[in-house]
């Protein structure tokens, strides 16, 4: 039996993120690192308005900055993120902002967030 739909003021959910990045050991190869992000659902009207606002920005650096701010607003936690000693990295907005400086991380998070909002991708299990 399907769960009842709950209309809540804030919907938070976990979603897998696969980060493809250059392999430090194998030249010209990519490796995939995984973690989970907890996203905050955003109303579609807000997404459309923000998307329109961002699309009108001509400066690519400013556009990326606004996209990062958008992600900072919707990511509320992570799990499976570790440092170079395999110690868990606690989630903070500063740590997330630092990770967003890496294009492959930012791209992976944006892709995962988009996939989480598409029911056909969610049904496939990402």
Helical pair 44-55 and 60-74, crossing angle rounded to 10 deg: 160
Residue 54 in domain: yes
Number of domains present in the structure of the chain:
1
pLDDT computed for residue 22 by the predictor: 94
Residues of the chain with pLDDT under 50: 126
Residue 1 in domain: no
User: What's the mean pLDDT when you consider all of the chain?
Assistant: 91
Strand residues in the chain grouped as ranges (E) = 12-22, 30-40, 75-79
Residue 99 in domain: yes
Residue 7 in domain: no
Residue 48 in domain: yes
Distance CA 31, CA 105 (A): 12
What is the domain extent for residue 35? 12-124
Q: In what order do the strands lie in the sheet with 30-40?
A: 12-22, 30-40, 75-79
pLDDT computed for residue 121 by the predictor: 54
Residue 110 in domain: yes
């Amino acid at each position: 039996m399907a769960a009842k739909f709950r209309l809540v003021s804030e919907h938070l959910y976990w979603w897998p993120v696969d980060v493809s990045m250059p392999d430090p050991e194998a030249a010209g190869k990519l490796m995939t690192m995984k973690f989970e992000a907890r996203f905050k659902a955003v109303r579609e009207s807000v997404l459309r308005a923000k998307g329109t606002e961002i699309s009108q920005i001509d400066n690519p650096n400013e556009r990326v900055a606004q996209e990062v701010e958008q992600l900072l607003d919707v990511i509320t936690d992570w799990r499976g993120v570790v440092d170079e000693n395999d110690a868990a990295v606690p989630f903070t907005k500063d740590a997330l902002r630092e990770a967003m400086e890496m294009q492959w991380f930012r791209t992976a998070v944006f892709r995962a967030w988009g996939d989480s909002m598409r029911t056909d991708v969610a049904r496939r299990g990402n």
